[in-house]
Amino acid sequence: MSSWIVIALVVALLAWAVLIYNGLVALRNRVKNAFSQIDVQLQRRYDLIPNLVETAKAYMRHERETLEAVIAARNQARAAAERAEGAPTDAAAMRQLAGAEAALGGMLTRFFALAEAYPELKANQNMMQLQEELASTENRIAFARQAYNDAVTAYNIRREQLPDVLIANAVGFAAAEQWVLENADARQALKVDFG
């Protein structure tokens, strides 16, 4: 009779561990899904930036260095996003992406500030449409980042609470990194209005 009790306890303990493990897997997958929503919007932004630069080239002939710096920052951010896409719960990859995105935001701010000096560029219909699309994309990115941070918070809370922490540490569920803007300038909304 006591062997049945031991077997029942072992089965109950295994079932409990499986439930915890499956819950952690579900939350980790929500983090990955939330990041994929950010990735879609970042890709949209990365696709818009070369069009902005090409539109501005005809007007900003003397600003080649700035235009090239914007494209270089875009390429670095895109590479960081590709690395983070493979492991959105990897803290180092997310910090690298946040830093690259902050640098890109700074370059875009510089680009738009410089473009203010070109009235013909400000009046260009294609430029205005691209700016509107970029502003819309920036809003979508902000919303997706919030959803990502919410998913990370839920995942991290669950993996740190008892008894889940025992399973999480035993099978390698590492903490996920929030998307935090370290640069104070990057916390400011990107101004894309030439109005």
pLDDT tens string 106-151: 999 999 888 888 888 878 888 889 889 999 999 999 999 999 999 9
Residue 180: per-residue pLDDT: 82
User: Length of the chain in residues, anyone?
Assistant: 195
Residue 170: per-residue pLDDT: 93
Q: How much is the pTM?
A: 0.80
**130 burial type by CB count under 10 A (0-12 exposed, 13-18 middle, 19+ buried):** buried
CA-to-CA separations, 191 to 20, 44, 58, 139, in angstroms, rounded: 45, 18, 22, 12
Measured in whole angstroms, the distance separating CA 50 from the mean position of its chain's CA atoms is: 20
CB 83 within 8 A of CB 92: no
Within 13 Å, how many C-alpha atoms sit on residue 138's CB side? 21
Residue 2: per-residue pLDDT: 86
Runs of H (alpha helix) within 116-124: 119-123
Residue 193: per-residue pLDDT: 52
Query: Which two tokens mark 28?
Result: 């980790």
Residue 194: per-residue pLDDT: 47
Q: Which domains can be identified in the chain, with CATH numbers?
A: 2-187 (1.20.1440.20)
CB 89 within 8 A of CB 32: yes
CB 154 within 8 A of CB 89: no
Where the chain has pLDDT below 70, the residues are: 1, 181-195
Measured in whole angstroms, the distance separating CA 71 from the mean position of its chain's CA atoms is: 19
